Amino acid sequence: MTKVPSMNLPGISADDSLMLLRAATELSFSSILVTDAQHRILYANPAFCATTGYSPDELEGQNPRILQGPLTDKSVIEKLRNDLDTTGHFTGSTFNYRKDGRPYLVEWTISPVMDESGKPRFYISVQKDITQLQAEQSTGNLFIKAIDAAYDGIFITTADGVIEFANQGFEIITGYRPAEVVGLKPSVLKSGEHDDAFYKDLWGHLTSGVPFRAMVVNRHKHGHKIHCQQTITPVKNALGEISHYISIIKDLSDRVFEELKLREQASHDGLTGLLNRRAGEIELDLSLLKAQENSSPFCILMADIDDFKAVNDTFGHNRGDDVIECVAGVLEKEIRKTDKAVRWGGEEFIVLLPFCGLEKATVIAESIRIALASQVFDEIGQVTLSIGVTESRNEDTPTSILDRVDQLLYDSKRGGKNRVTAA
Residue positions annotated with a catalytic role: 347
Rounded-to-integer distance, Cα 416 and Cα 133, Å: 47
The backbone torsions φ and ψ at residue 336, rounded to the nearest 5 degrees and listed phi first, read -80, 165
Residue 147 has a CB neighbour count (10 Å cut-off) of 18
Cβ(232)–Cβ(246) under 8 Å?
A: yes
Angle at alpha carbon of residue 407, lines to 399 and 346, rounded to 5°: 80
Q: How many CA atoms lie within 13 A of 126 on its CB side?
A: 10
Burial of 106 (0-12, 13-18, 19+ CB in 10 A): buried
Residue 345 Ramachandran class (φ > 0 left, ψ -120 to 50 alpha, else beta): left
User: In whole angstroms, what separates CA 35 from the centre of its chain?
Assistant: 35
Q: Are 390 and 423 in contact (CB under 8 A)?
A: yes
Q: Using an 8 Å Cβ cutoff, are 247 and 234 in contact? A: no
Separation between Cα atoms, residue 373 and residue 382, nearest integer Å: 6
Using H for helix, E for strand and C for coil, what is the string for 79-95? HHHHHHHHCCCEEEEEE
User: How far apart, in whole angstroms, are the C-alpha atoms of residue 2 and residue 89?
Assistant: 10
**390-394 own/partner pairs: CB under 8 Å, 24+ apart:** 390/299, 390/300, 390/358, 390/422, 390/423, 391/297, 391/298, 391/299, 391/357, 391/358, 391/361, 392/287, 392/288, 392/291, 392/297, 392/298, 392/299, 392/300, 393/297, 394/71, 394/292
Alpha-carbon gap, residue 384 to 370, rounded angstroms: 8
Q: Provide the b/e sequence for 307-335 (b: ≥16 CB within 10 Å).
A: ebeebbeebeeeebebbbebbbbbbeebb
Phi/psi at 12 (nearest 5 deg)?
-125, 140
Q: How far apart are CA 188 and CA 218, in angstroms?
A: 9
Q: Is 418 helix (H, G, I), strand (E, B) or coil?
A: coil
